[in-house]
């Protein structure tokens, strides 16, 4: 199994509070991604990173920010959580850009915003 760890795995929070999800990899892969998965929508890309301090937006980036200060860590922050951000969040990594190589996914972080 690819060495990807997400934390926390489960979190319940209230509307308006900040939330940070962490993704840690031990594979030294260049690319890291944050997806959210909701019923009927499949996996949607929030943000991705192609190197330390190099990040870009995905299709559903509003309300989210990311940071990557080290190769192995990619943080996803919800500055002020809303109920619409209740979802399962998956971190993924790839050695090559995602349209040419395999994505390896973490176990997911289930976030509930009350």
Residues that bind other proteins (CB under 8 A): 33, 35, 40-45, 48, 56, 58-59, 90, 97-100, 102-103, 105-108
Instruction: Please state, in angstroms and rounded to a whole number, the distance separating the CA atoms of residues 20 and 76.
Output: 6
Taking the least distance from each CB to other proteins, the nearer of 78 and 106 is 106
Taking the least distance from each CB to other proteins, the nearer of 15 and 56 is 56
Residue 100 CB, shortest distance to other proteins, in Å, is 6
Residue 16 CB, shortest distance to other proteins, in Å, is 29
Taking the least distance from each CB to other proteins, the nearer of 45 and 75 is 45
Task: Tokens 């976030």: give the residue.
Answer: 111
Q: Both tokens of residue 51? A: 């190197």
- H runs (alpha helix) in the chain: none
Residue 37 CB, shortest distance to other proteins, in Å, is 9
Q: E strands within 14-108?
A: 19-25, 31-38, 42-51, 54-57, 64-70, 73-78, 87-94, 104-105
């Amino acid at each position: 199994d690819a060495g990807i760890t997400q934390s926390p795995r489960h979190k319940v929070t209230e509307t308006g509070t900040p939330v940070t999800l962490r993704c840690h990899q031990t594979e030294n892969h260049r690319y890291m991604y944050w997806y959210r998965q909701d019923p009927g929508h499949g996996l949607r890309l929030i943000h991705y990173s192609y190197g330390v301090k190099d990040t870009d937006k995905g299709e559903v980036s509003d309300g989210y920010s990311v940071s990557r200060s080290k190769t192995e860590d990619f943080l996803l922050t919800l500055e002020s959580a809303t109920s619409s951000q209740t979802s399962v969040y998956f971190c993924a990594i790839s050695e090559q850009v995602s349209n040419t190589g395999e994505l390896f996914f973490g176990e997911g972080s289930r976030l509930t915003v009350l």
